[in-house]
Structure 1
Amino acid sequence: MAKIFQVSVRGALTRVVEPLARRLLRAGVSPNAVTVTGTAGCLVGALGFGARGQLVPAALIVTFFALTDLLDGTMARLRGRSSRFGAFLDSSMDRVADGAVFGAVTYLLATRGDHAGVAAALLSLVLGQLVSYVKARAEGLGMTCNVGIAERTERLIIVGVGGLFTGLGVGWALPAALWLLAALSLITVGQRIAHVYRQAQRSELGADA
């Protein structure tokens, strides 16, 4: 059920993003430029607003620019080709943006004395990086790893929604979102490891046959 919901949400977002992707390509904008712009926007939202406690604008800015993670990939697909450097740049910029977002959240919660929230933010950061690493390592070994309940876009949207509600006065929303995110990230790591394990087992059985 969760996977069906995830696919339907991503499908709806892609239908919204695709017309914009086509317009940007016609205007001569490259996917790499969109990648860098998205990272810069996340940095502004996280460090310029989120770390200072201005959670409503921070959440709106970060959530908006998080969608560029879908936009640049859609542009590359519509263009009919993707570059190895583009994939490298996208992964590198994602790590920069994630570090800024969760670093800002950790700093803010620490200044407010919310130790449980700080723990959740740090867990979300570490597990989010592990989610990405497992996929990158699997692909480096020639296997696929496009599975998991909480990929990067979903993770940023969850923390963005939590930040938005906390900024609107629901103080527990951000810590709750972070604990939910930590749990979903841990599940995603497990899903990806299991997926890679099954591929490796099939490969070894095929080699022995």
Structure 2
Amino acid sequence: MARISNKGASAWGSFLDSTIDRITDASILIGLILGLVKAGDSLIPVVLLALITGALIPYIRAKAESLNIPCSGGIAERTERVVIALTAIGLEGLRIPYALAVGMWVLTVLGFITVIQRVVIVRNATKR
């Protein structure tokens, strides 16, 4: 709405947007985990790690920004993570072999890389 109205985001709108983004991100992976539990799938730990890195990435940015350290970027920002997750889930729905496993491993590895990238950004900024 803020973009459409050209007024810019209010503090409340920005907070609400970020909160809904976190709920959406977690819901996708929690829904997947519930399906995997029901199926007894061995991919559960990988998806849990993807969920953890997906929560850490915006947390690191928010904490850094609360310390007046700009901390955006990284190899897998939110858009990339959501696209990877939904593509993997969609391809699994089309019965493409290993699509879900490959997608979740890619999501997890890229998530860890992004966490490391952001931690390094904050570490370098605090060394000064």
Q: Which amino acid aligns with 2:105?
A: W
SS at match of 2:74: coil
* Equivalent residue for 1:161, pick from 87, 95, 104: 87
Instruction: Report matched runs for 1:123-202 at 5 Å.
Output: 123-202=49-128
Partner in structure 2 of residue 104 of structure 1: 31
Structure 1 unaligned segments of length 5 or more: list them: 1-29, 32-74, 203-209
User: Which of 90, 93, 101 is equivalent to 2:20?
Assistant: 93
Write 1 or 2 for the structure with the bigger share of helix: 1
- For residues 105 and 193 of structure 1, what CA distance do their matches in structure 2 show? 28
Q: TM-score, normalised by structure 1?
A: 0.58
Once residues 194 and 146 of structure 1 are traced to their aligned partners in structure 2, the CA distance between those partners, rounded to angstroms, is 12
User: What letter matches 1:104 in structure 2?
Assistant: G
In the alignment, residue 101 of structure 2 is paired with which amino acid?
A: P
Q: TM-score, normalised by structure 2?
A: 0.93
The residue that corresponds to 1:58 in the other structure is none
Q: 1:113 aligns with which of 40, 52, 60?
A: 40
Question: Which 4+ stretches in 1 moved above 3 angstroms?
Answer: none
Gapped regions of structure 2 (runs ≥ 5):
none
Whose Rg is larger? 1
Q: Give the aligned residue type for 1:92.
A: T
CA distance in 1, matches of 2:45, 2:102: 12
Alignment of 1:50-89 (within 5 A): 75=3, 79=6, 81-89=8-16
Report 1 or 2 for greater relative contact order, CA contacts < 8 Å, sequence distance ≥ 6: 2
Residue 120 of structure 2 aligns with an amino acid whose one-letter code is A
Q: Which amino acid aligns with 2:32?
A: V
CA displacement, residues 124-143 of structure 1 (integer Å, 9 cap, x when unaligned): 00111001100000001111
Count how many residue pairs are aligned between Structure 1 and Structure 2. Answer: 128
The letter for the 2-side match of 1:145 is: C
Query: 2: CA distance between counterparts of 1:198 and 1:85?
Result: 31
